[in-house]
Every structure is written in C-alpha cells, then in structure tokens.
C-alpha cells in the first residue's frame, strides 16, 4: 500500500468531514439539545469539545426512543419510583428489534408479515389448522371407571359402545360417499346425489347431527343405507327429505329452554344449528345442557336495546331539518305498506353479531369492533356485577349477553345463580384487567368443586371454539381449564373428549408456547382422568375418517404417554399398530410412536425395544402411508436414542434396508431418513457395511428433482460421513465427485433451505476428508457471478476452516483462496455478516501466512472505509477488529499505525452503527499494539473520545467506554487530570445506560480514573451528583462511590460521604445511605475497621421518621453485618439489631423485606442464639400481627441454621419440652 493511496483516502475523508461539518453550526442552534448556545462561559458538562470538534451528527438521538425511562432491577425505594413496571427494560436497540420483524435474511417470512401481526388466532392459521373449527364438542361421555359414581353424573353421557358405533357409521358414510363420487366421476348419473353429498360433505350442521345423538343417528343411518342400496326413484329422495326433517325436529325437541324461542325466529335457526359452539345443547347428557349463547341469544337484544336506546335513538324530524339543506330537496312519503321496525329485537338481527361463528351466515361484512360507531357503542364495557372490563367484543355478547338482561337475581334458582356466577368470573378472566383477572381466576379455582365440572366446562369450552378468539384470551381460558382440572380431578372424566377437542389444536399451533400449554393441559388431564379413561375416550378417534382428527389425536396420545409413562400405554399401542380392521388405526398408532420420542427425547431409551417392536411389522404394511410413517417413526426413535440403543433396532435393520431398495418416491425418502438416523448408532464395521449398502441408492437419488428427497439425501450423507466406520478414502472415492457435481450448483444457493443443507453436509464431509479437499473443490466458486453462490461458498469455507484450521491448505490454494475471498468481499452488493465472518476466519486461520496479502487487504479496507454506503464502511471497520491480531503477528505495526490514523479521522462518522464499529476497530488496534505505541498517540485520541461518550447509541457507548476504560486502566498518565475529570462528567450520564454491560464498564472506569487522579475530585463530582433529581442516576452514582471506595480504600471516601449526610435533604441522605450500602457490599471484610465509625450515622438513620430512610439504613446494616461475620464486632451489631427490631411491624413489602434481611445478616454476625432470644417472645403472641413476622424470622433461621439453634431453644415448662440430655455434665 503506497503512501499516495493513503493520502488520497485521507484527502477524500477530509472533504467528507468538511462537508458534514458545514451542515452544522457549531455555536448556533443545536438540534440535539434544542438550545442556542448564547452563553459566553464554558460549560463544564457541555465541554469545549463541541466547539473544537463538530457534533457527531445533526440529531444524535435519531432513531432512538428518547422517552423510554431507564429502570432496572433496583426497586428499593418504591416510594419514589412512580412507574409500575415490574421488569427491567429490554436493551436491544430499535434496529435490533426490527431486525426480526423485517426478516434480515429471513425473506420468506416477510410474506406472512401481515398475518403475524393479527392477534386473532384464526387469522394466522393454515388451512389445515383451521380444520379444528370443523370439529364439534361431542356429547358428554359416561364415566365408566368411576368408582363411586356421583348421582346425576353417572347415567348421562354416551357409552363407549355408542361412540364406536357412531364412528363405524361415519366411516361407512365416508366410504359410500367416496364410492358415489367415483361413480359420478365415471359418468353414472345418480339421482339422489344431492342428498348424499350433503350428508357426507362434512358441513357443520350435518356433522353435528352425526355426532350428537348416536341412537337416532344410527337409526337414520340404517334407513339411509337402504336408500343407497335400493334406489334411484324419486320416492326415495322424498323419504330422504322427510328424514332430514324429522332429524331437525329432533333438534327442536331438545330440552333446551332456549329452543322454544328459536322456533319463533326460523331464519336464525339454520345459522344456529350450524354453529359448532351450539352443539352441547343437543345432548340430554349434559348437566346444564344449555350454553348461555342459546338462552342469551333471543333474550339479549332487548337487554341490549335498553342499554343503547338513548345513544342510538333514531334522528327526529327536527334534527334532520337542522342538518339537511331545506332547498332543493323533498321529503318523500314512505312507500305504502312500510312500517318502521320499532322492536329492537328485530333490529338487532341485522347487526352482524355472529352467534357462535356460524359458517353460513350473511355475506361479506366489514367489521371492526374498535372503530365502528354502530358496533362499538352498543357494546358495553360495564357489565352489571362485573365492573369495568378492558374490552368487550361483539362476539362476547353471544356468550355473556345474559348478564346484561337485568333480570332479578333473587328470583333465580341456585343452578341459574351458579351459572351466572361462573359466567361473570369467566368474563372477568377473559376480558378483565390483570387484577380482576387474578381474583376471578382464584375464585374459579377455589370454587371449582362447588360449581361442578359440567357448568364450568359447558361455558369454557364453547368460548375456546370461538372463531375470533385471540391469543391472550385463549391463553387465559386454557389457564382456567388447567387450574380447574387440578381441582376437579376425576370429576372431569365425562368432559375429557370435549376438552381434547379444544385443546388438541394447540398441539399443532405455530406458537411454541401454545404447544407447550396444550401439552401441559393434556398431561394434567390424563393424570386427572386416568389412563383407562383416556384410552377409552380417544380410542374412537384413532380411526376417525378425518385425517386432522387422527393427527391431533396421535399427538395427544404421545402427550398422554409422556405423562403416564410409556410402559402403561405400550400394550394399547401394540394392539393399535397391529389393527387388522383399518389401516388408519395402524397409521395413527405408528404416528403416536413417532410423536413420543419427539416429545420425550432420550427418555424413550428404556422402552426403545418395546416401541420398535410395536411398529416393526408396519414396515411391510400394504399401505404406503403406513410404511412411510413407520420409517419416519423409526427415524425419530433413532434420533432420540442417539448414540445408544442400536440393539433395539436389530430386528428391523433387514426390513429397512431391503425396504429401501424396493421403495420409490416419498416412501423412499422416509426409509432413507430412518437409515440415516440409525447408521450413527452402529459400530464401526457395521456402519461401514450398511453405508456401502445404502450408498448406491443415495447416489442414484442425488439427481432426484424432488426437494424433499434432496433434503433427506443430504442429511443422510452427512450422517453417514459423521460415523466412525466411514473412511475418508471411501468418501473421496465414491461420494465427493457425485456430491459436488449434483449439489454444488448455482441453483442450490437460491433456495434458503437447500443452501443451508448443502453447506451443512459439505462441512460434515469436510470433517472427514479435510479442509484442503473441500476448499480445493469450491474455491473457484468464490469468483462465480452469482452472489448467493459466492456467499454459500464463503460460508462453507468459513465453517470448514473454523473447525479444522488451515494447515492442509497448500501455498497455491492459499493464494487462490485469499484472492477469491477478497474478490467476493469486494463484489458483495449486500453487506453480509457471512462475508465478514468468512474473511475474518480465513485470515485468522492462515495467521502469519497472510503477511504477503496484508497490504492488499488493508488497501481494500481503506477504500471501503471511504465508501459512500454506511454498511460498507461499517463492515470494513468490523473487518479491522477481526484481523488486528493477525496484523500484529505479521509485524505490520506500521500498517496498523496508518489504519489507526485513518480510523481516528473517521471519528466524525455520523451513523452510530458505523461509529461503533470504528471505535471497536480502534480498540482492537490499541489492544494489540499497546497504549504506548498507539498511533495516533493517546493524548490526541482521548479528548476526541470525550464528546463521543455523550452519544446515546448503545453500540457506540459500549465501544467507547471499553476503549476509554482500557486507556484509564493501562495508561492513565498519557492524559492530564483535567481531561479525566471531563470524562468523569460524561460518564455520569452513562451510569444510567440501558445495558448493564455499559453501566458496569462505566462504573469500573470511575474506579480506574479515581485511582489515576486521586479520589478527591472524582468524589466531589459524584457527591454533587447525589443531589440530582433523577433516581436512576443517583443510584448509579451511589454505585460509583462504592467502587471508588473500593479502589482507593474506604478511608478516602467515608469521611466525605458521612459529612454529606449532614445535608438536611432527604434525597442526599438517602443517596449517602445507598452509597454506604454499596460501599460496604464491595469492601466486605474491610468493613470491620469502619463499623464503629458509621454506627452513629446508622443509629440516626434507623430511627428516622421516613420509611425509606430506615429501609436503606437496614440494607447498609445488612452489608456491614455480612462483612464482619466472625470479626468481633458483635456489640455494634447487637446495638443495631436493637434499633432494627421495632421495624419488624412495617407493612410495606419493600421495607419489611430489607428489615428481615438485615436481621438475618445480623444473625449471621452474632449467631442464632442471641438473635433467637428476640424471637421466642413473639412466636405465640396473642396477636396474629405479631406472630406473623416472628414466625417469618423463625423460619428463616430454621432454614439456614436449624442445627445451630438446637442448644438455644427455650426451656419451657412443658412436659414435651424437657430435654434432659442437654443437662448432662461429666
């Protein structure tokens, strides 16, 4: 790199700086603090630097949320802290947070951005997941296992036999439907097609009929079968219609009280029958068979209307006259026969309150519960007896409308009252504010047994089936179920299936936490209901016609297995997997076995043999689907068992390998996957043998166009390559050529998933065959024209080199590699961390071998540092920090000096991210060359850093404080004291940074500076800072004082600090106490010399009127006491204990916690015997208020030193309290 180059770059840079400086006036209006600097005096805090150096950007806070208050863990004086925040702030910058939102490198997800934002669960569900809405809440089931059946609960409900019969019927229907469809497709005209298609098509109403009453349905089914078998004449279709009619009439005859009113609104009925939520009312089996929505449905509009009639009253003629122009318009007479609807109930029908989310209702409707005037106003946020809710949706009205009808509660029966009570509590939980929610949840839990399972679940479960449910609501309702389950225990049995219907969809939710929640509920459910009942409940779903139901059931079964133990479920699984009757059952059985290891991981190991035996036979199943899922299950088992358990797979090895030869397509993919997971478990020689057996298939499938197959093949190759038995020679000879030919093509780099797989597999192969082999083959791609392909290459090289080093890279290859990397680094159009990492790793791995290339690299960096684009500059600076170490090793000190100077001149950088990187680069240079050799000299560098300390950007702050701290630590003498003082002022601000690392670094730097220039000046600054208003900065100052005391010995600080306590100002005194607290925490045992000095101060503080005062003093006492344990200051401690003790009756949790802690600490110092003497007196005090804190102290002592208090228990005159052993004297 020639000097002229440097000069050019520096010149360009100077121009840039001048240009950016021109944009800002130095002494005029400063946008960063909104002030015009008119003062002629030099401000101490706003130092000269602004005039010497231009501000680093016109708005240094751009892009930051300046309004966020700083708050972290320390909530000692809650009195002052007005915010109600319980947790600390997140410390990520805006950019970082948005990174995930906008998918930096996750382009695929961007498409879903709109969906992700929606809170409604239904909006982001896939079509498959939406199929949960097709399911219905099945009737309550009989509890066959109840030991002592409760009256009422026993006789109701469907028996297992009935359900199985119904499933049988469904299957038959499905079969017939399929047959007919086939027939139709073949051109045969079937006259009764319409009826049949309707029946089998799975429309909600139909389903409901199928699922609700089994005996009737069975009867109907028999008739229908006759229809299908016999005829095509029209008489039959007539029967069919009558049949349908009778069925409906059955609906109307249900004992539900709301049904009568339904008859009066026939239009609504059709809607209503279809509503999944409405199902439960169809069953005689329910304890309270009605869902509120049904009763509330017809009643609600009136109740509603009375509420809103004022606001929504029609405009009067006068109003309209006033509003509308009188000329040019004519008032028309209403058409003859028109009578305005006066009854509110009918009007309400027109509003889009979807009762239970009916499928066939209405047309398109824009519906926004928040903004719509019509809707929003009708919905009360105040429900009688509930209080103010957070929100109330239109849909909620269907469920909770009943609460607003204003009927007289005195006239109600106990059951009704109970129902209303539950409804109210549920509404509070679902829509209430957090405190309301909490108490309501508590009440629900506590009274669960009293309410009974029926009334509770009949209200909760339909809510969960609601289409417009949001995440939060679902979470809360699920929580209610969880709590209630716990209390109800086996009383839930009749409701298990219903609960499963609503909870199973959670198991396939996208949200991880929803899945976990679902698992938890199901496992609690199975513990409550017992295995036998779970099996009998879920058994009918195992060969359900709907694949969705089977899938979710399999997952639920796996959860049951993990909750109740695999051995308990194994006999059942074995039976299911060998079912002769339906392949669906086998498929589901195998799927259960597949889900178990996914859920439980290596916990399957003890039962591996049993599980494999279970499904082993299914590898040769007639059905392709069963074979495929079996191979996948074996893969999952082997993955979970890794690296153990090969002996369990012995049986299936042969079928698996021979099967792999026979299969094609998707089936083959599954088999290969299983093979891939089993090979790593094997011994060396077996692995080698079996790999060679399977390799020809793999090689054949290398050229498969199927994406899924490609993925599997890659995975299997990397698994094979990873095993010991497979040698490098074998791979080189048989695999590498084919592999690179089929997978290292540009096309693979374009798809993200393929890209990742190829890189991973190549790296895995590299582990065996060595770096040289891999790099040799791909190094040319570094100069490819496709950027994605270059990136893929760089990433592979980086990973291989990082794990294996660069020793096997020859000289020629080394040149090509560096050349290629430089080329791809320069050619990148989007700056990518991959390139940076790759470059850094390669350079670091080559070490001193890089010497020849360094000038070239540095020149690239310099040019890129001068680039217009900020990200390019940032990347260049980052690269410097990566390679600084190697430059030092290569002895390129001169080059580093030059780089240092260039970076130094770049400190005017306006983009904070870039500035942070530049500071980081400077820091790494300082680290490797040392303070004394640094170019530019430290005395020039540091003053330049002072204004940057004021930058609020986290990255900048972190890097600056690191650099400054390093200088303060290693070479404080290179800068004069005045400059250090100035830095101290700037550091004060940093004490309240968001990020803990920054605060810690700032505090440490205080210590270094205090050491360098003596504590007096620094301390004065800090003590002054104690007077500021802002709490956070006072706290940090207190910490800093503690640190200064620690580094410069306490006696330099303590006098000044104690003197400060004389200031008659609450904040200052508190600050002093807080600093003392930190001080004693830091100095630990040194405290023994200062105990007597601070005791009078503490005395004063502990008898202060102010609570916070005493609280803080207590924390000082705690730290002092813990410091002097065993050092002979017991008298002082006892004195402090006397002063502390009366505070025991404080009620504020913060205060009482500190007091108790302090007493505990003193117990450590003076021993439990003495302290417990204070406690005995109050343990059995008549007043509970006294007993409570005393027992707390006792418990603390008991937990920490139960053994030590044995000799000190009081001698009571009780006969039980006689302990003669202690009186033995020899």
Partner 1 sequence: MADKLRAQQQLEQLQTRFVGTGHADTTRFEWSSNIQRDSFASYVGHPPLLSYMAIGMGECREKVRGAMIEVG
- For residue 653, cis peptide bond before it (omega within 30 degrees of 0): no
Asked whether position 1180 contacts partner 1 by CB under 8 A, the answer is yes
Task: Decide whether 1066 or 1202 has the Cβ nearer to partner 1.
Answer: 1202
Asked whether position 86 contacts partner 1 by CB under 8 A, the answer is no
Q: Name 470's bridge partners.
A: 120
Q: How far is CA 1005 from the centre of its chain?
A: 36
544, 550 Cβ separation under 8 angstroms: yes
| Alpha carbon distance 812, 821 (integer Å) | 14
Q: Name 36's bridge partners.
A: 29
**Of 305, 1000, 1187, 1201, which one interacts with partner 1 (CB under 8 A)?**
1187
Asked whether position 85 contacts partner 1 by CB under 8 A, the answer is no
**H/E element holding 30?**
strand 29-30
| Alpha carbon distance 402, 400 (integer Å) | 5
* 122-130, 533-541, 580-588, 1201-1209 -> range binding partner 1 (CB under 8 A): 1201-1209
Task: Decide whether 100 or 1209 has the Cβ nearer to partner 1.
Answer: 1209
Task: Decide whether 42 or 1226 has the Cβ nearer to partner 1.
Answer: 1226
Asked whether position 1206 contacts partner 1 by CB under 8 A, the answer is yes
Asked whether position 330 contacts partner 1 by CB under 8 A, the answer is no
Asked whether position 317 contacts partner 1 by CB under 8 A, the answer is no
**Of 112, 238, 1049, 1212, which one interacts with partner 1 (CB under 8 A)?**
1212
Q: Which of residues 1095-1154 bind partner 1 (CB under 8 A)?
A: 1149
**Of 438, 752, 753, 978, which one interacts with partner 1 (CB under 8 A)?**
438
| Alpha carbon distance 900, 880 (integer Å) | 10
Tell me the two tokens of residue 660: 């792999």
* 659-667, 700-708, 726-734, 1218-1226 -> range binding partner 1 (CB under 8 A): 1218-1226
* 557-565, 767-775, 920-928, 1206-1214 -> range binding partner 1 (CB under 8 A): 1206-1214
Choose among 941, 902, 951: nearest CA to 57: 951
**Of 11, 183, 442, 753, which one interacts with partner 1 (CB under 8 A)?**
442
Tell me the two tokens of residue 10: 């520096």
Q: How far is CA 588 from CA 402, 632, 779, in A?
A: 42, 13, 49
CB of 432 to partner 1, least distance (A): 14
Asked whether position 1213 contacts partner 1 by CB under 8 A, the answer is no
* 271-279, 551-559, 807-815, 1178-1186 -> range binding partner 1 (CB under 8 A): 1178-1186
Asked whether position 1184 contacts partner 1 by CB under 8 A, the answer is yes
Asked whether position 1191 contacts partner 1 by CB under 8 A, the answer is yes
CB of 1221 to partner 1, least distance (A): 5
**Of 755, 863, 985, 1194, which one interacts with partner 1 (CB under 8 A)?**
1194
| Alpha carbon distance 1056, 554 (integer Å) | 72
Asked whether position 1217 contacts partner 1 by CB under 8 A, the answer is yes
Residues 6+ apart with CB under 8 A from 73: 88
Q: Name 382's bridge partners.
A: 388
Asked whether position 1188 contacts partner 1 by CB under 8 A, the answer is yes
Start-to-end C-alpha separation, the chain: 92
Asked whether position 373 contacts partner 1 by CB under 8 A, the answer is no
Asked whether position 350 contacts partner 1 by CB under 8 A, the answer is no
Task: Decide whether 187 or 1149 has the Cβ nearer to partner 1.
Answer: 1149
DSSP of 286-297, one letter per residue?
A: -SS---HHHHHH
Tell me the two tokens of residue 9: 């770059």
Q: How far is CA 126 from the centre of its chain?
A: 20
Residue 965, classed as helix, strand or coil, is helix
Burial of 176 (0-12, 13-18, 19+ CB in 10 A): middle
Task: Decide whether 442 or 581 has the Cβ nearer to partner 1.
Answer: 442
Task: List the Cα angle 1183/1185/1189 in 5-degree steps.
Answer: 120
CB of 1141 to partner 1, least distance (A): 18
Task: Decide whether 408 or 1203 has the Cβ nearer to partner 1.
Answer: 1203
**Of 189, 350, 414, 1199, which one interacts with partner 1 (CB under 8 A)?**
1199
Asked whether position 84 contacts partner 1 by CB under 8 A, the answer is no
Asked whether position 1219 contacts partner 1 by CB under 8 A, the answer is yes
**Of 51, 654, 1024, 1195, which one interacts with partner 1 (CB under 8 A)?**
1195
| Alpha carbon distance 1163, 1133 (integer Å) | 9
Positive or negative: CA dihedral 82, 87, 91, 96: negative
Task: Decide whether 436 or 1072 has the Cβ nearer to partner 1.
Answer: 436
Task: Decide whether 442 or 978 has the Cβ nearer to partner 1.
Answer: 442
Asked whether position 87 contacts partner 1 by CB under 8 A, the answer is no
Size of the site for partner 1 (CB under 8 A): 29
818, 850 Cβ separation under 8 angstroms: yes
Task: Decide whether 69 or 1222 has the Cβ nearer to partner 1.
Answer: 1222
Asked whether position 1203 contacts partner 1 by CB under 8 A, the answer is yes
In this structure, the number of other CB atoms found within 10 A of the CB of residue 1107 comes to 17
Asked whether position 1179 contacts partner 1 by CB under 8 A, the answer is yes
CB of 869 to partner 1, least distance (A): 52
Tell the residue number behind the tokens 């005194």, with chain if given. 1069
* 199-207, 231-239, 883-891, 1186-1194 -> range binding partner 1 (CB under 8 A): 1186-1194
Asked whether position 1208 contacts partner 1 by CB under 8 A, the answer is no
Task: Decide whether 1055 or 1210 has the Cβ nearer to partner 1.
Answer: 1210
DSSP of 1000-1058, one letter per residue?
A: HHHHHHHHHHHHHH-HHHHHHHHHHHTTSS-HHHHHHHHHHHHHHHHHT-GGGTHHHHH
* 464-472, 567-575, 726-734, 1197-1205 -> range binding partner 1 (CB under 8 A): 1197-1205
652, 590 Cβ separation under 8 angstroms: no
HSE (side-chain half, CA atoms, 13 Å) at 481: 31
Alpha helices in 617-745, H assignment, sequence order: 624-641, 646-662, 665-678, 684-701, 707-722, 728-730, 737-743
Asked whether position 1202 contacts partner 1 by CB under 8 A, the answer is yes
Task: Decide whether 580 or 1184 has the Cβ nearer to partner 1.
Answer: 1184
CB of 438 to partner 1, least distance (A): 6
CB of 1175 to partner 1, least distance (A): 11
Task: List the Cα angle 1150/1154/1155 in 5-degree steps.
Answer: 115
DSSP of 223-266, one letter per residue?
A: HHHHHHHH--SHHHHHHHHHHHHHHHHHHHTSS-THHHHHHH-H
* 693-701, 849-857, 870-878, 1192-1200 -> range binding partner 1 (CB under 8 A): 1192-1200
- For residue 643, cis peptide bond before it (omega within 30 degrees of 0): yes
Alpha helices in 372-495, H assignment, sequence order: 373-378, 394-400, 414-431, 434-446, 448-451, 453-465, 471-488
**Of 187, 337, 435, 1064, which one interacts with partner 1 (CB under 8 A)?**
435
Asked whether position 830 contacts partner 1 by CB under 8 A, the answer is no
CB of 1225 to partner 1, least distance (A): 7
Task: Decide whether 414 or 1225 has the Cβ nearer to partner 1.
Answer: 1225
| Alpha carbon distance 57, 71 (integer Å) | 27
CB of 1121 to partner 1, least distance (A): 23
β-pairing, 35-36 vs 382-383, is unpaired
Asked whether position 1216 contacts partner 1 by CB under 8 A, the answer is yes
Kindly list the residues in this chain that would bind partner 1 in the complex (CB under 8 A).
435, 438-439, 442, 1149, 1179-1180, 1184, 1187-1188, 1191, 1194-1195, 1198-1199, 1202-1203, 1206, 1209, 1212, 1214, 1216-1217, 1219, 1221-1222, 1224-1226
């Amino acid at each position: 790199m020639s000097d002229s180059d440097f000069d050019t770059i520096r010149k360009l840079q100077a121009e840039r700086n001048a240009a950016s400086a021109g944009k800002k006036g130095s002494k005029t209006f400063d946008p960063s603090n909104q002030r015009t600097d008119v003062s002629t005096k030099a401000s101490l805090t706003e130092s000269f630097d602004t005039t010497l150096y231009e501000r680093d950007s016109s708005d240094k806070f751009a892009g930051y949320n300046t309004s966020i208050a700083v708050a972290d863990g320390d909530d000692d004086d809650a009195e002052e802290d007005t915010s109600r925040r319980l947790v600390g702030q997140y410390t990520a910058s805006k950019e970082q947070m948005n990174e995930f939102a906008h998918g930096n490198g996750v382009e695929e997800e961007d498409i879903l951005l709109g969906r992700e934002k929606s809170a409604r669960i239904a909006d982001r569900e896939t079509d498959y997941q939406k199929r949960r809405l097709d399911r219905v809440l099945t009737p309550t089931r009989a509890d066959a296992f109840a030991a002592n059946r409760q009256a009422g609960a026993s006789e109701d409900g469907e028996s297992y036999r009935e359900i199985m019969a119904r499933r049988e019927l469904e299957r038959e229907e499905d079969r017939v439907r399929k047959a007919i469809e086939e027939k139709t497709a073949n051109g045969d005209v079937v006259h009764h097609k319409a009826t049949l298609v309707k029946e089998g098509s799975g429309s909600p109403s139909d389903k409901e009929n199928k699922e609700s009453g089994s005996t009737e349905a069975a009867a109907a089914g028999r008739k229908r079968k006759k229809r299908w078998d016999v005829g095509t004449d029209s008489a039959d279709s007539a029967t069919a219609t009558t049949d349908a009619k009778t069925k409906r009439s059955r609906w109307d005859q249900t004992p539900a009280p709301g049904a009568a009113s339904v008859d009066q609104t026939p239009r609504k009925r059709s809607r209503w029958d279809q509503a999944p939520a409405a199902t439960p009312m169809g069953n005689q089996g329910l304890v309270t068979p009605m869902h509120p929505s049904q009763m509330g449905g017809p009643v609600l509009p009136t109740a509603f209307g009375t509420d809103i009639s004022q606001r929504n009253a029609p405009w009067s003629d006068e109003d309209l006259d006033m509003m509308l122009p009188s000329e040019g318009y004519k008032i028309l007479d209403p058409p003859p026969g028109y009578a305005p609807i006066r009854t509110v109930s009918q009007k309400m029908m027109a509003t889009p309150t979807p009762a239970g989310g009916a499928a066939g209702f209405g047309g398109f409707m824009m519906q926004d519960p928040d903004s719509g005037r019509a809707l929003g106003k009708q919905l009360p946020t105040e429900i009688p007896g509930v209080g103010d809710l957070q929100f109330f949706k239109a849909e909620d009205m269907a469920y909770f409308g009943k609460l607003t009808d204003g009927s007289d509660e005195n006239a109600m029966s106990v059951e009704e009252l109970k129902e209303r009570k539950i409804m109210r509590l549920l509404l509070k939980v679902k829509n209430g504010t957090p405190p309301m929610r909490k108490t309501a949840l508590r009440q629900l839990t506590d009274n669960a047994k009293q309410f009974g399972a029926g009334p509770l679940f009949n209200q909760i479960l339909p809510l969960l089936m609601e289409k417009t449910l949001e995440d939060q609501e679902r979470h809360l309702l699920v929580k209610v179920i969880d709590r209630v389950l716990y209390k109800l225990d086996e009383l839930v049995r009749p409701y298990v299936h219903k609960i499963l219907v609503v909870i199973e969809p959670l198991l396939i939710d996208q949200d991880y936490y929803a899945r976990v929640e679902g698992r938890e509920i199901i496992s609690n459910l199975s513990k409550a209901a017992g295995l036998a009942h779970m099996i009998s409940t879920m058994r009918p779903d195992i060969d359900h016609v709907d694949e969705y139901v089977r899938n979710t059931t399999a997952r639920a079964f796996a959860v049951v297995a993990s909750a109740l133990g695999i051995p308990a479920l194994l006999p059942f699984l074995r039976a299911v997997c060998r079912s002769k009757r339906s392949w669906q059952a086998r498929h589901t059985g195998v799927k259960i076995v597949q889900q178990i290891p996914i859920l439980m991981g290596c916990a399957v190991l003890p039962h591996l043999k049993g599980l494999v035996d279970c499904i082993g036979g299914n590898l040769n199943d007639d059905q392709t689907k069963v074979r495929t899922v079996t191979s996948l299950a074996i893969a999952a088992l082997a993955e979970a068992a890794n690296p153990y358990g090969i002996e369990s797979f012995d049986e299936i090895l042969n079928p698996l390998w021979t099967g792999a030869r026979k299969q094609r397509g998707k089936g083959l993919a599954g088999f290969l996957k299983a093979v891939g997971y089993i090979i790593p478990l094997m011994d060396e020689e077996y692995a080698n043998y079996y790999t060679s057996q399977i390799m020809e298939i793999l090689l054949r499938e290398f050229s498969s166009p199927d994406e899924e197959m490609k993925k599997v093949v890659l995975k299997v190759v990397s698994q094979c390559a990873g095993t010991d038995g497979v040698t490098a020679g074998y791979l080189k000879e048989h695999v590498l050529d084919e592999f690179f030919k089929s997978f290292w093509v540009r096309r693979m780099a374009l798809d993200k998933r393929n890209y990742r797989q190829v890189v991973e597999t190549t790296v895995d192969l590299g582990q065996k065959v060595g770096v040289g082999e891999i790099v040799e083959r791909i190094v040319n791609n570094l100069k490819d024209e496709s950027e994605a392909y270059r990136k893929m290459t760089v990433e592979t090289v980086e990973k291989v080199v990082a794990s294996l080093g660069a020793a096997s890279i020859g000289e020629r290859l080394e040149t090509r590699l560096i050349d290629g990397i430089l080329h791809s680094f320069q050619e990148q159009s989007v700056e990518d961390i991959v390139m940076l990492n790759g470059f850094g790793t390669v350079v670091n791995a080559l070490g001193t071998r890089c010497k020849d290339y360094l000038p070239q690299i540095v020149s690239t960096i310099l040019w890129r540092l001068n680039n217009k684009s900020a990200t390019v500059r940032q990347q260049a600076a980052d690269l410097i920090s990566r390679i600084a170490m190697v430059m030092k090793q290569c002895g390129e000190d001169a080059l580093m000096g030059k780089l240092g100077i260039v970076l130094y001149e770049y400190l005017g950088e306006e983009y904070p991210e870039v500035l942070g990187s530049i500071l980081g680069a400077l820091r790494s240079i300082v680290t490797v060359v040392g303070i004394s050799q640094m170019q530019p000299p430290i005395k020039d560098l540091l003053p330049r850093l002072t204004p940057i300390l004021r930058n609020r950007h986290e990255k900048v702050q972190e890097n600056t404080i690191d650099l400054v701290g390093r200088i303060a630590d290693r070479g404080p003498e290179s800068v004069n004291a005045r400059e250090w003082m100035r830095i101290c002022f700037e550091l004060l601000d940093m004490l309240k940074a968001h990020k803990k690392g920054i605060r810690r670094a700032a505090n440490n730097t205080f210590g270094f500076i205090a050491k360098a220039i003596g504590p007096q000046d620094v301390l004065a600054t800090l003590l002054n800072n104690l007077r500021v208003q802002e709490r956070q900065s006072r706290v940090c100052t207190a910490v800093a004082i503690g640190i200064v005391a620690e580094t410069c010995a306490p006696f330099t600080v303590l006098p000044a600090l104690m003197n400060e306590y004389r200031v008659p100002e609450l904040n200052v005194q508190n600050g002093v106490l807080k600093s003392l607290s930190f001080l004693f925490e830091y100095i630990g045992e040194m405290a023994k010399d200062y105990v007597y000095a601070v005791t009078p101060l503490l005395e004063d503080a502990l008898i202060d009127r102010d609570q916070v005062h005493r609280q803080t003093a207590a924390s000082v006492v705690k730290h002092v006491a813990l410091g002097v344990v065993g050092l002979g200051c017991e008298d002082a401690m006892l004195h402090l204990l006397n002063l502390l003790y009366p505070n025991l009756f404080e009620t504020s949790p913060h205060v009482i916690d500190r007091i108790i802690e302090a007493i505990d600490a003193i117990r450590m110092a003076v021993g439990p015997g003495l302290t417990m003497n204070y406690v005995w007196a109050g343990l059995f005090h008549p007043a509970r208020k006294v007993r409570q804190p005393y027992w707390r102290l006792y418990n603390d002592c008991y937990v920490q030193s139960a053994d030590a208090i044995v000799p000190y228990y009081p001698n009571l005159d009780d006969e039980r309290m006689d302990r003669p052993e202690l009186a033995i004297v020899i």
